A and B are shown apart, each in its own frame.
Chain A
């Protein structure tokens, strides 16, 4: 019954949004956004911007690559690590987020992240407004002369930018699923992801990536211009820290620490990890938003960091217990990739090796020692890899940023120690909103509908109890 109530609330929310937009629309027609006004003043009729075909092509491919990271990439990576009674629940989380987060992004997420500031009592750069709700002004429209106009974002249509960012909006909550896998109610997970995306992801994305964000290095008036090329704070620290909060608030799985819970299929995990590696080229090199030198550097640094991560994590196991493991190699690759995400637009490939290596060791330590010391059940180490790796990456970006790559802003090794402060502020700010936001959202959902499945359901597995299916059926 609670589930039904949740569905009704959700439908009501969507309906009210659609209605508000219809009411708001005529206002926009009379009073178009500022940039259109300035253009129409100079040339009367809005003209079509010029696009670069190569950039569009690369960004379309990159967008598809990033989607592939959520599923099958992450779905297989996570799916192989759970017990076999829960594999479908993990895959369902991934594909359902591909559905719901895409719709949320188009309805209001993109606007909250990338529309001009919502005035919050004079504070600027904290969250986007409602100008782009329902993709208003993002998708093609007719100008005053009746010609179709495709809105531009740099050298590409804004639609391409929007959908590239949409893929990030999908994978970020999917990463958190690793922390509460095998025990969270599916309905609660869906509501959590929608609320978390709206109230945690969108603000951070606005801070770090929108032209007016208070952490964006593209904003000349930014309070703390931090370097985050592809989402170290927005994607990895936000999801990793939230994952830790989820793991603590939901509590341990039944029998955690008493009964064995080994991964049920590491071959899936291997396939997933290698697909993540490949998809990350779109994630990082695509964040250049063009097919240019910056994209190439991001591509190369990304690969080098992943490579170093493999060596570091598997090597650490080799030294510590005599055997390098497949899971360690896969985890190391992901640790390296997470770490290079904020850095790939400002460091060289050789720095990439250093970053990947440090992250591989750091995350190995976090997943094998830190977790056991504090005793939280972060099922698939979402915090250990994304939270820890993301933080290492964000801080080391402030160390290794070089003028050769960034063209302007430099880090500690080139004499700008202040950049480390910017990076630290961006880490603390995104971790802070992630912690507070996640706690509030989880408490709210807990009161509304509960967070965990019943003990019986957890023992039988979420595949049958939450979805009425089995992953493996013989005869």
Chain B
């Protein structure tokens, strides 16, 4: 099993979610996060006081998939989430030890 953490743009969330659902991904968790990478922050001015905003808002998706589905999910996120501009985000993939469905106690691939 793999855990995919994808940082994407806010306005791509709906498209990416739909594409993943069509590709057979059964569930995901979304959170609003802030961070920075190559995309630079911006300046804000309030009554003459200037602030540099370094942390930009992004969406983070947590997706857990079986080993076979992993590549498909990544391809989907990359192809749909891409605009070609700096700031499209990143995908992190890690090996996952176990998954447990709380209701039934099922574990592993069956619980995904």
A residues adjacent to B (C-beta < 8 A): 260-263, 321, 323, 325, 327-328, 331, 367-369, 371-372, 381, 384
Contacts and interface: CB of A to CB of B under 8 A. Distances in A.
Contacts of B49: 261-262
Interface string B42-56: 001111110110000
Nearest to A257: B49
A367 B48 contact: yes
Which 9 residue pairs spanning A and B have beta carbons closest together?
A: A368-B48, A260-B51, A367-B47, A262-B51, A262-B46, A327-B46, A263-B46, A368-B47, A262-B44
Nearest to A384: B47
B48 A371 contact: yes
25 contacts: A260-B51, A260-B52, A261-B49, A262-B44, A262-B46, A262-B49, A262-B51, A263-B46, A321-B45, A323-B45, A325-B45, A325-B46, A327-B46, A327-B47, A328-B47, A331-B47, A367-B47, A367-B48, A368-B47, A368-B48, A369-B48, A371-B48, A372-B48, A381-B47, A384-B47
Contacts of B45: 321, 323, 325
Nearest to B44: A262
Nearest to A367: B47
A384 B48 CA distance: 12
Nearest to B48: A368
Interface residues of B, number: 8
Contacts of A381: 47
Contacts of A368: 47-48
Contacts of B48: 367-369, 371-372
Q: Which of B44, B45, B48, B49 has the most CB of A within 10 A?
A: B48
Contacts of B51: 260, 262
Q: Which of A262, A327, A369 has the most CB of B within 10 A?
A: A262
Q: Which of B47, B48, B49 has the most CB of A within 10 A?
A: B47
Given A327-B46, A369-B48, 6 more contacts: A260-B52, A262-B51, A263-B46, A325-B45, A331-B47, A381-B47
Interface in B3-55: 44-49, 51-52
A406 to B, nearest CB: 35
Contacts of B46: 262-263, 325, 327
Contacts of A260: 51-52
A331 B47 CA distance: 9
